[in-house]
Amino acid sequence: MRHLWSFLAGVVVAPVTWVLITLGQDGSGRTINRWVEVGTFNTANLIEPAVYLAVAGVLLGLVGTLRTSPLGPLTAGLLLVTPYVGMFLAPFDVRDRVPDGWKVFGDPLPLHLPVENGTLFLIGVMLLIATFSVQRWRRWPARVPAAAPTAGTYTPDEAPTLTDWPPATEPAERDTAPMSLGYPDETPTEPLPRREAGASPWSAPPGGGQQQRPAS
């Protein structure tokens, strides 16, 4: 489909460019010749032909430089080159076949002017050279969809900033248990025996009772 649209663009651009170049060249030539005759100038008179030439340049640039099908510049180049090439074979017949006496917006349209001065041939050759670009014959690469972010990665909108680093973490619960020198043992221990007044704590029997002293 892109080849068809490019071919149609070349068929349309070639005659439109021919008309625009004719209006621009004829308008510029008559304006400057008039300035020479009267000995003064007014640059506003040159705006209209300059616009015609600028539009023609834009159309040729779009067809010749954009990465589209090469059929567009190839078709337009052949159509623009053909009239000048015909001058080598039958110049009078070719010139008689070029329409004459046409007008656009009241301005004369001498279509033979860009043919005779070689402008169409120059532009046509440039378009033909543009078709030999290798990049024009290649298709645009298919667009690869963006991969979903994996775990541990950030998307551009979620990228960490300096104020977010290091990441805030919740403080760990504080251990309020008393420190011990050994392993914790939850088994209750027996209470120590009560020491009587004046007695040594080491003289008490293990069972907690009092031992009578034997008589001598």
Residue 39 forms part of a structural domain: yes
Average pLDDT for 40-63: 89
Residue 156 forms part of a structural domain: no
Report field, pTM of the whole predicted structure over 0.75: no
Note the pLDDT of residue 11. Answer: 86
How far is residue 49's CA from residue 20's CA, in Å, rounded to a whole number? Answer: 9
Residue 190 forms part of a structural domain: no
Residue 167 forms part of a structural domain: no
Average pLDDT for 25-32: 90
* pLDDT surpasses 80 at 119: yes
Residue 31 forms part of a structural domain: yes
Task: Answer for the pair 64, 10: CB distance below 8 angstroms, yes or no.
Answer: no
Residue 120 forms part of a structural domain: yes
Percentage with pLDDT > 90 across the chain: 15
Q: How many domains does the chain have?
A: 1
DSSP label at residue 137: G
Summarize pLDDT for 89-112 with one digit per residue, the tens.
888 888 888 888 788 877 788 888
* pLDDT surpasses 70 at 10: yes
How far is residue 196's CA from residue 177's CA, in Å, rounded to a whole number? Answer: 35
Identify any residues that bridge with 104 across adjacent strands, giving them in sequence order. 107
Residue 202 forms part of a structural domain: no
Residue 42 forms part of a structural domain: yes
Look up the domain containing 15 and give its range.
2-137
Phi, psi of 5 (to 5 degrees): -65, -35
